Copies of this chain bind each other. A is one copy, B any other.
């Protein structure tokens, strides 16, 4: 990478996690998912909208959400390509000093080698898509790779699926940088099954290490990237799920990061996935509290900024108000959620 490009990538990546506490608002759900969320938030349940009406509603929701944001606590927003390229809502954010990102991955396809795992589509035509996003104002991009995680007895994830996901994320990262966008790799390890915390730690550590190994093999400039991991945690079907504390998860998470994320990566922004907003914030706050009290010079004290890239945790309450038409309550809900995440990313939630 030329020095100019490298400097810009580095500067964008650092800005997304600076000053400490700021994080990312993820709004890259696909149209069907937004529709489902709006229906779920509504009091009336399923309504009969035409496609055009659904599109209009989607755009209006995005507009309302973005209009509620300031850059006090939010450094960047991840947009779905439609929002960036068709609704053209990027300017409303960038004018407030919020950095624009774009979802890069496509939909999932079956993975013949392992019937319960998936291939992430989207590498075909990735470069022109990323170039178009850059032209529309995006400065970063994100690729989500879902990773199954069961007990060793059930055997997921398969080695071959981890290899494919690591390779795919690395190719994404290299293409994204070629288009001038900071790539955020998102290894999203499932917690719906029967893995215990130790197994979750092992799988997190493995896929993150494998991905960075491939990133370096692909010439990715790590200073100009971020990572959006899940928190290691016991699966919903494991008996320790209920007795595991945020402090346990904080220790597991810090250990994973210290073993697997290269020092050159300037920041970590966690995903909230299926976690309740309050839980996602508690985990993040416990992790930052652990780092805050680590001995200077020790591994945990040398971790990069640990922040958030949350969707539901930021917008869940707000959306309920919006569908009822209560704009002020929506704004208040956004304010409260973004401030809460900001405090959590400082270990003070």
Decide if A218 touches B299 in the complex (CB within 8 Å).
no
Q: How far is the CA of A175 from the CA of B164 in the complex (A)?
A: 14
**Which residues of B have CB within 8 Å of A217?**
113, 159-160, 163
Neighbouring B residues of A152 by C-beta, 8 Å: 152-153, 155
> Per-residue 0/1 for A133-176: is the Cβ within 8 Å of any B Cβ (1 yes, 0 no)?
00000000000000000001101000110011001000100110
Known: A119-B123, A258-B263, A262-B260. A112 touches B205 (CB 8 A): no
Residues of chain B lying within 8 A (CB to CB) of residue A20:
297
Which of chain B's residues have a CB closer than 8 A to the CB of A263?
257-259, 261-263, 299, 302-303
A39 on interface, CB distance cutoff 8 Å: no
CB-defined contacts of A290 to chain B, threshold 8 Å: none
Q: What residue in chain B is nearest A122 (Cβ atoms)?
A: B124
What is the CA–CA distance of A205 and B304 in the complex, to the nearest angstrom? 20
Please, how many residues of chain A have a CB less than 8 angstroms from a CB on the other chain? 56
Bound state CA distance, A56 and B159, in angstroms? 49
> A298: shortest Cβ distance to chain B, in Å?
7
Known: A121-B124, A263-B261. A112 touches B174 (CB 8 A): yes
CB–CB B223/A299 < 8 A: yes
In the assembled complex, A36 has its CB within 8 A of some CB on chain B: no
Complex contact B219–A178 (CB within 8 A): no
Within 8 A of B (CB), among A265-324: 265-266, 297-299, 302-305
A213 at the binding interface (Cβ < 8 Å): yes
How distant is A42 from chain B, measured CB to nearest CB, in Å? Answer: 34
Q: Which of B167, B174, B213, B305 contacts A213 (CB 8 A)?
A: B213
Write 6 A-B pairs (CB below 8 A) sorted by A numbering.
A121-B125, A152-B155, A167-B167, A209-B216, A258-B262, A258-B264
- Which 4 A-B residue pairs are closest in the complex by CB-CB distance? A258-B264, A112-B174, A153-B153, A124-B124
Known: A121-B124, A160-B217, A299-B304. 17 other contacts (CB 8 A): A20-B297, A106-B124, A109-B124, A112-B218, A113-B217, A113-B218, A119-B171, A121-B125, A124-B125, A152-B152, A159-B159, A160-B218, A222-B259, A263-B303, A264-B299, A302-B302, A302-B303
